[in-house]
Amino acid sequence: MTMTPTPTKPWAASTKDRTIDGAIFAGSLLSSYLVVSVTPMKGKLAYFACFFIAYAIFTTAFKGIQRGNAAAKDALVNSLVAIGAIVTVIPAASILATVLKKGLPGISFGLFTHDMALATPTDPLSNGGLLHAITGTLTLMLLSLVMSVPIGILTALYLTEIKGRFTAPIRFLVQAMSGVPSIVAGLFILSAILYPITKAYSGLMGALSLTILMIPTIARTSEEVLNLIPNDLREAGTALGGTQWRTVAMIVLPAAKSGLVTAVILGVARIAGETAPILLLTGGGDKVNPNAFNGPMGSLPYYIWKSFNAGSPEAITRAWAGLLVLVGLVLFLFTSARFLGTRKVSK
């Protein structure tokens, strides 16, 4: 009879290793406390910085003594990578925390059912709401999506599938366009369309400028996604008697679907909080305006900007609430788009 051996993990950290790690951690905490209290440095940031430096030094030194030079380098790089990751997360988490903390007091049910038509920014919070801003932002997003997604994806298809004579200049232009500052896009629509032609603020004007900002993001990301689709699939489609268009529509685009959804998400992310062109072109407005083609249209960034400018404590609370709603809205859109994109692919 053979005995089944007990499964073990000889590579796992032993109790001794863990104790040492804990000791290094505690030692780093202690030394950062000592350093900060002895030197004139002050504040949380100083603690963080000293802790990270101490931790990197201690682990490197210890591994060096224990296992030699190579292990010391490995430990040093490991701790630098970990520090880098944490340093990246801290600002994002801190922004989210601040928005939540300052925004939550301003959130109420009335916020989502009323607009500011009959309220001024300095009114008490029970008056008015940001319904006009939410509907305005959604309208702007929808309009810009309707215009930029087809143009962006068709541009990407030209670059990856047709590869015509203009591929190089178009790729260059798209790359240059993705660096256009948003205020330039706003001024362009203002001087090229709003002043000479429509002569009136409207949601459409804002959406046009946002479209200019979105197209390069969508086109570039889609191009990269489409380039990842193996050429085998295109050849297989054509070898089965499909025209190029049928092959692209039936095989290439479905295969790239989740990546294209990501491209659209990145496009929305590019414009969701865009304020400068909105200020120039939509005309603000405190009333729900369902018509994007006529009359001023509010939006969340505009509402936030206007409320902060008003300056009263109520108005500032409104601004933070608006920020929280904007962040929540973007998060919601991303999550649902991601969900839709992956669900259809793994059907």
Partner 1 sequence: MTTSHESENQDMQTSVKPSSLADVANAKAPKVPGTAALGTGLETRGVHAWFGKHHALSNISLDFAAGTVTALIGPSGCGKSTFIRTINRMHEFIPGAAMAGEVLLDGKDVYAPGTDVTKIRLQIGMVFQKPNPFPSMTIGENVLSGLKLAQIKVDNKDDLLEECLERAGLWSEVKDRLGAHGGSLSGGQQQRLCIARALAVRPQVLLMDEPCSALDPGSTLRIEDTIRHLSDTMTIIIVTHNMQQAARVSDYTAFFLSDGGPGQMIEVAPTSDIFSRPQDSRTESYVTGRFG
CB of 153 to partner 1, least distance (A): 16
CB of 266 to partner 1, least distance (A): 22
Q: Which residue, 91 or 241, has its beta carbon nearer to partner 1?
A: 241
CB of 156 to partner 1, least distance (A): 18
Q: Is 282 exposed, middle or buried (0-12, 13-18, 19+ CB in 10 A)?
A: buried
Instruction: Spell out, one character per residue from 29 to 68, where the chain touches partner 1: x when CB under 8 A holds, - when not.
Output: ----------------------------------------
CB of 231 to partner 1, least distance (A): 9
Name the residue with tokens 């900007």.
305
CB of 218 to partner 1, least distance (A): 20
CB of 263 to partner 1, least distance (A): 17
Residues 158-187 touching partner 1, rule: CB under 8 A, are 163
Residues 226-255 touching partner 1, rule: CB under 8 A, are 230, 232-233, 235-243, 246-247, 250-251, 254-255
Is the Cα torsion angle 61, 67, 69, 74 positive or negative in sign?
negative
Q: Which residue, 98 or 167, has its beta carbon nearer to partner 1?
A: 167
Inter-residue contact 59 to 24 (CB < 8 Å): yes
Query: How far apart are the C-alpha atoms of 21 and 197, rounded to whole Å?
Result: 69
CB of 161 to partner 1, least distance (A): 11
Number of residues that bind partner 1 (CB under 8 A): 21
Centre a 10 Å sphere on the Cβ of residue 71 and count the other Cβ atoms it contains.
15
Q: Which residue, 192 or 233, has its beta carbon nearer to partner 1?
A: 233
Inter-residue contact 148 to 214 (CB < 8 Å): yes
CA 87 and chain centroid, separation: 18
Centre a 10 Å sphere on the Cβ of residue 334 and count the other Cβ atoms it contains.
16
For residue 86, state whether it binds partner 1 (rule: CB under 8 A). no
Six token digits for residue 166? 């203009």
Q: Helices marked H in 273-312 — which ranges? A: 276-281, 300-310
CB of 338 to partner 1, least distance (A): 18
For residue 257, state whether it binds partner 1 (rule: CB under 8 A). yes
71 phi, psi to nearest 5 deg: -65, -35
Q: Which residue, 66 or 227, has its beta carbon nearer to partner 1?
A: 227
| Radius of gyration from C-alpha coordinates of the chain | 27
Q: Which residue, 189 or 252, has its beta carbon nearer to partner 1?
A: 252
Q: Which residue, 242 or 328, has its beta carbon nearer to partner 1?
A: 242
Six token digits for residue 319? 């601004």
Q: Which residue, 74 or 161, has its beta carbon nearer to partner 1?
A: 161
Inter-residue contact 20 to 42 (CB < 8 Å): no
Q: What is the largest CA-CA distance in the chain?
A: 93
Q: Which residue, 93 or 240, has its beta carbon nearer to partner 1?
A: 240
CA 102 and chain centroid, separation: 21
Query: How far apart are the C-alpha atoms of 125 and 206, rounded to whole Å?
Result: 28
Q: Which residue, 17 or 235, has its beta carbon nearer to partner 1?
A: 235
CB of 225 to partner 1, least distance (A): 14
Judged by phi (left if over 0) then psi (alpha if -120 to 50, else beta), residue 332 lies in alpha
Using CB under 8 A as the criterion, which residues of the chain lie in contact with partner 1 when the complex forms? 163, 230, 232-233, 235-243, 246-247, 250-251, 254-255, 257, 345
